[in-house]
Amino acid sequence: MDKKEIKNFSLSQLIDICGLRPEDLYHEGCLIASKVNMADEIDLNMFRYPMRMNAYAIAFCSKGSISITSNLNHYTLTEQMLYINLPGTFLQIESMDNAEVYLIICEEEFIRRINVDLKLLSRLFLRVERHPALKLDNEDWHSVMRSFDEISYEGEFHNDDVYSTEVIRTALRMIIYKVCRIIAHHVSATPTEIVPSPRNRNEEYFHRFMRILSQNYHIERSVGFYSRQLNLTPKYFTTIIRKTSGRTAVSWIDDFVILEAKNLLKYSSMSIQEISYYLNFPNQSFFGKYFKSHTGMTPTAYRSTK
C-alpha cells in the first residue's frame, strides 16, 4: 500500500474519481445507479485496499457474485442479496465474478432532507453493523426493483418536470423504508439477536453517540468526553448506552479503536509507533498493552499474521 493512512472518501470524491454514467442519477447528495457492471464500469483500484466511505450505501446484487471485507469480516454477495455500508465502515473488494449491482449512496444530510426518521434507522444500527449482508426473498427483491424502475423512469423522462424532484424523493424514501422492513424481518426471524427497543429519547442519544464516536475515537477514549458532548453525566450516559444497545459505552469505544488499529496494522505502512501516536496513545508501550488486552496478541504478532 503506497499511502500510510487508510483512505476516506466522501460521495463527491467518489463521483470525481469514478465519474457518472449517462443513466446515473445524482440528486442533492444522493447517487442512484442501476445495473452497474462492476468489472467494466467501476475503477476497482481504489478498493484494492480497505477504504472508508463517509456515506450510507446500499448495494443490491442482481447478477454474479462479489467477495468483500467489511470491518474485517468477509462476505460474499450473490444474486438477490443486499449489502449496507454505514459511514466510516472499512470496505475492501476482494474478488468478483460477473457482478452486476444496483446502488444507492447518500450523505446523512440527504436522509435528513427527505425526512427519513433517523430514530427508525438507529433502532436497526446494531443489526446492520453485525450483519450488513442479507438475502432477499422474491417478493422483497421485486418490490425494491420496482422502486428502482420508477426512479429511472423519472430521471429519464421527467427530469424537467417541476414535480419530478418530489417523486424521486418519495421513491427513495420508499426504498429506504423497504430496506428497514427487510432488516426488521430478519431480526424477528433470529430472536437471539433482537435489538432492544428502548425509548425514543434514548435511541436518539445512542445515535448521536455513534456519530460522535465515529468522528473522535482516534483521539478520545474517555467516557467523560462523550458524555459531555451529549450534555449528560457519565453515570446517566453509561446507563443509557447499556440499556439501548446491551453493551457499555467503553466496549463501543474500544471496538472502534481496536478495529482501526487492526486495519492500520494490516493494511497501512505506518510503524507501530506511528499508529500509537495516531490513535492518541502516550507511547508505543501503552498502545501495545491496550491492544494485547483486547486481542490477546501484541501489535507485532498481529501484523505478522496472514
What tens digit of pLDDT does each residue of 94-113 get?
888 999 999 999 887 888 77
At 210 the pLDDT is 84
At 172 the pLDDT is 87
Q: Is 31 within 8 Å of 106 (Cβ atoms)?
A: yes
At 198 the pLDDT is 42
**Regions of the chain short of the pLDDT cut 70:** 1-6, 43-45, 117-127, 158-160, 187-200, 306
At 2 the pLDDT is 44
What's the mean per-residue pLDDT of the chain?
A: 83
At 184 the pLDDT is 80
